[in-house]
A and B are shown apart, each in its own frame.
Chain A
């Protein structure tokens, strides 16, 4: 399971009078990295959007195929349609690859300087080496991010915010750097907060009438949140102690789903289970509290309901053990399911709803839905 994760937030606005963004952004997650490309297409409106979209699609695709910047540039020049007025094919780009190890590679073509913000709050423009590809000047930089570090990418509509509206040279890299340093404590390291703050400041310099399309992208490299969910006793009762030991030794969020299982864990920890009576009026069994464990719920009904909520959404205002379980699962980057495969004889005899079958099927269903939501999952059977 991945030990590190990359959070990405994007905020965009269109040039005044346009409905379509002339900038484009694409983020691709590969097994060992996150690829981010921001592009500013020539002009504005639909034409700019087409150029920028083509650029991010091509650059992302080729980066995934581990092609060099040289080959990417050649392909872009050969592919982008030529503007009949200006007689050039053009869009800028800033392509970033953040590997799970923290290694970062950035290639920039005519785009304003990316900002690297250290986890201690020091912000600086990424300095790269200049080189030429197909007659075009590019910058390439390689460095390493530590857990908690952030990157801020932005387009010209941010760098030149305010031109013609009172700022003769626009906001400029230095202005952005000092603003980022000032608002970092406000954003509390949250990528959405930071990208919103920067975009709103740019819009205020434009006095609400942007003279160019604007894009702000904030990315944060951080340690992954792992949740471990234990459900069901093992099929071989002699494995109980091993299973519980494996579970309690896990770091991160620990969740137990199952009545019998929760008693096994409580006995092992020598702690008392306390029912949480908040959800007694819901149509699901209530959750429980156990010192040292983040959440305890009943098993298959709650797991099935959590899967159902992922498929069809949580009804307005609904709060029950499954919504609490989902809060924990969706806050994690990776979820390890430790599944005991003992059969509860009652499950074969009483009329359970159709959605409830064997624990294993329910967990696999939930796991697949979480993968669809971008989570990494791992299933271990006992």
Chain B
């Protein structure tokens, strides 16, 4: 049973990748493989980063509806970029090495995440309602601040920000790809090593304490990992609001058990299928008529609503 759902998803993902690489490929194969291969790698990276970040965040907040993006994580990332462009100007910003920008962003995001959510999670009895509301308000605050800065900024500088504040799967920051790949792999390895502790964390503060886990410390560790993964995916393709929620919900639906050893790989596979499959269909079948992010947010929004309504009834 465990192997079966994993196997089916694995096969589906391979088919999607195969189609993505070969469908309507014309001309020089070296070029096609290189061009599409990089894009495929970026899509897979984003998929695994977003799904794992969402899963970890749901575990430490013990809620299956929250995602890092509903709590304003990627809005925070966009705000940091916007403020950077605003203070040093587009020319200065574009001259900075993108790796440097990425790392500064990453550390600011980790710091802010620990500051904002670390204190909320650190409480012994997490008041969920308060946490959700605080997260939503933070998200609004970050977005409003961003649009406030938009209004004061030079139009040419605005264009620079726009690139980083909307999800884009057609133009991907490929210069960051190796860096992002390395960081993601290290972070994933740490997540995987934490999988048993994460299972215990999902039992809640009291039971986890009873079993001898240092809950507050683990939550902070997980929060740092979430921040790294969100930073990687946002830097590569921009904010994707509902992707994480969509894939983790599907994974929970088809997984035979809810251990992290099961959910981490399964939701990553599903994220890959959604991103690579969706991009293939949009590029090759629908002729790029709709951005993938719009479709994902549309479907993900419905999943979010369905989850909310189902929670309300039970």
A binds B: no
B residues with CB within 8 A of A? none
A residues with CB within 8 A of B? none
